[in-house]
Amino acid sequence: MSNPNDLSELNAHDELMFVEDEDFLLEDATLDCEDALETATWTVVIVDDEPAVHQATQLALNNFAFEGKPLKFLSAYSGEEGKQLLSEHHSETAFVLLDVVMETHDAGLNVVQYIREELNNHKVRIILRTGHPGEAPEESVILNYDINDYTLKVELTRKRLLTTVITALRSYRDVITIDQQRQELAQTLVHLEKVQQQLTVYSQALEIKVAERTRALEKANQELKRLAFLDGLTEIANRRYFDDYLLQQWQILSQAQQPLALILADVDLFKSYNDIYGHQSGDACLKQVAQALDQVLNRPTDLAARFGGEEFAIVLPYSDLKGAEQIAEIILTTVRELALPHEGSSVSKWVTLSLGVSRIFPYADSSPDTLISTADQALYKAKQTGRDRYCIYHPSSGLELTLSPSMNPIS
């Protein structure tokens, strides 16, 4: 190996680096040495077995700076020495000025493979220089090796060297910038993935919460709706719901040309019951009677409702008079079987009911009021004729009194 301190070995083709040493204007270069020394540096590795080449290169690039940063030179004088040097400094190296032929004809090419494959460094710029082009043909080297420039030493003037260096530094700067942006983008993507995962978890939790709230709201709405149409005392339909339901069935049955029956029920002598047992007992009595009425009905379209005070109404869609009469008999029997004491009754010692039954075929442009009116007339007749019985209103013949035998006659 040549002595790096021996300047006498600077040969003729190396001197060509100084032939064209005229002023060279470059927008990215500055020759302010003091400012350059205060900044970071661009690390340059020179791998060449000719010490004079190292000296000539550093002399040609003396006081050169790129983007305010000067060059820092590291030297190796063989391929193996270059590998060792680069193993320690490749991550900070901007570009390598690499001789092809050194201890072997392909020593420089081996260094290229070492940088790209073993060190896995694709950022550093590699500039091949050779004084023996025949041993490493330019075209095959460029095609087969990951290099950035290939120059004959005899062509490497100062101007050409500066151009090559600036091109390499610009390329290295851009590669580093792109790599930093890629890393930042990768970090951003990782962050976005975490955020996405958090949003997914939050969204799922929110969906569950919304579903729970929705179910709770639906349940609350159903309860409110139930309460709106439910009589608070007796827990059967209230008068408002009765009116709506009767009108709804009236419209349906008028189109279907089917009968609609109605039973109005009144607790016999209920004022006397309250006077004797008190209003709390009276409320309890009404609730038991209402629940008994509701339990009598088996069809989903039948409805028991509190009509007002101690009066109740039973709506029986698709029922003729015979069917309504059977329901009336069952109601009387069921209430008697409750055996609710009523000492103030002149009818029975137990709580009893009086019923008015009516049936009609609804038709368009008519009102349910007719049905209510006729059932009320029948109820009045049942009460007038002794109570604890039902009376049927016949559309053809008017009122027909139908007595129901008392199960608990007054002794």
Task: Give the pLDDT of residue 397.
Answer: 67
The answer to whether 42 and 70 have CB atoms below 8 angstroms apart is: yes
Indicate whether 285 belongs to any domain. yes
Indicate whether 227 belongs to any domain. no
Pairing, β 42-47 against β 69-76: parallel
User: Whole-angstrom Cα distance, residue 182 to residue 204?
Assistant: 32
Residues 325, 247 share a domain: yes
Which DSSP string do the residues of 359-391 spell out, in sequence order?
EE---TT--THHHHHHHHHHHHHHHHTTSSSEE
Residues 381, 305 share a domain: yes
User: Whole-angstrom Cα distance, residue 175 to residue 200?
Assistant: 36
Residues 174, 27 share a domain: yes
The answer to whether 153 and 19 have CB atoms below 8 angstroms apart is: no
Residues 259, 398 share a domain: yes
Residues 246, 378 share a domain: yes
Q: Which of 181, 203, 222 is the last residue of a domain?
A: 181
- Mean pLDDT of the 140-146 span: 79
Which residues 6+ apart lie within 8 Å of 347 measured at CB? 268, 269, 386, 387, 388, 406, 410
Indicate whether 393 belongs to any domain. yes
In Å, how far are 109, 150, 287 from 135, measured between CA atoms?
Answer: 11, 13, 114
Residue 395 pLDDT > 80, yes or no? Answer: no
User: Whole-angstrom Cα distance, residue 242 to residue 308?
Assistant: 11
Residues 263, 176 share a domain: no
Q: Which of 137, 164, 181 is the last residue of a domain?
A: 181
68-107 pLDDT, tens digit each: 999 999 999 999 999 999 999 999 999 999 999 999 988 9
User: Whole-angstrom Cα distance, residue 250 to residue 369?
Assistant: 10
Q: Is the pTM of this model over 0.75?
A: no
Angle at 44 between CA 38 and CA 49, to 5 degrees: 140
Helices (H), 38-157: 51-60, 79-89, 107-113, 138-144
Which residues 6+ apart lie within 8 Å of 32 measured at CB? 65
258-306 pLDDT, tens digit each: 999 999 999 999 999 999 999 999 999 999 999 999 999 999 999 999 9
Task: Give the pLDDT of residue 401.
Answer: 56
As a whole number, the mean pLDDT across the chain is 85
Residues 302, 392 share a domain: yes
What domain range includes position 24? 7-181
Residues 300, 392 share a domain: yes
Give the chain's domain count: 2
Pairing, β 65-66 against β 29-30: antiparallel
Task: Give the pLDDT of residue 133.
Answer: 63
Beta-carbon neighbour count of residue 336 at 10 Å?
Answer: 20
178 or 396: whose pLDDT is higher? Answer: 178
Indicate whether 155 belongs to any domain. yes
Q: 341: which DSSP letter? A: B
CATH number, domain containing residue 158: 3.40.50.2300
- Mean pLDDT of the 367-393 span: 94
Residues 13, 110 share a domain: yes
Indicate whether 230 belongs to any domain. no
Task: Give the pLDDT of residue 409.
Answer: 41
Residue 2 pLDDT > 60, yes or no? Answer: no
Which DSSP string do the residues of 272-335 spell out, in sequence order?
HHHHHH-HHHHHHHHHHHHHHHHHH--STT-EEEEEETTEEEEEEET--HHHHHHHHHHHHHHH
Task: Give the pLDDT of residue 365.
Answer: 83
Which two three-digit tokens encode residue 211? 């579903």
User: Whole-angstrom Cα distance, residue 209 to residue 303?
Assistant: 38
Tally of CA atoms within 13 A in the half-sphere of 85 that contains its CB: 20
- Mean pLDDT of the 357-371 span: 92
The answer to whether 80 and 112 have CB atoms below 8 angstroms apart is: no
Percentage of the chain modeled with pLDDT above 90 = 71
35 or 62: whose pLDDT is higher? Answer: 62
The answer to whether 98 and 129 have CB atoms below 8 angstroms apart is: yes
In Å, how far are 45, 179, 313, 314 from 371, measured between CA atoms?
Answer: 110, 89, 12, 12
191-224 pLDDT, tens digit each: 999 999 999 999 999 999 999 999 999 998 888 8
Residue at token pair 């040097």: 85
User: Whole-angstrom Cα distance, residue 324 to residue 319?
Assistant: 6
- Among 22-36, 111-125, 218-232, 266-280, which is the least confidently predicted range? 22-36
Which two three-digit tokens encode residue 137? 């043909």
Indicate whether 229 belongs to any domain. no
User: Whole-angstrom Cα distance, residue 106 to residue 96?
Assistant: 16
Residue 188 pLDDT > 70, yes or no? Answer: yes
CATH number, domain containing residue 322: 3.30.70.270
Indicate whether 407 belongs to any domain. no
The answer to whether 299 and 370 have CB atoms below 8 angstroms apart is: no
Residues 157, 38 share a domain: yes
The answer to whether 344 and 269 have CB atoms below 8 angstroms apart is: yes
User: Whole-angstrom Cα distance, residue 229 to residue 221?
Assistant: 12
Instruction: Identify which of 137, 117, 110, 5 has the alpha carbon closest to the alpha carbon of residue 47.
Output: 110
Residues 75, 151 share a domain: yes
Q: Which of 165, 181, 197 is the last residue of a domain?
A: 181
- Mean pLDDT of the 43-52 span: 95
> Residue 154: pLDDT band by 50, 70, 90 thresholds?
confident
Indicate whether 90 belongs to any domain. yes
Residues 141, 271 share a domain: no
Which two three-digit tokens encode residue 256? 């279907």
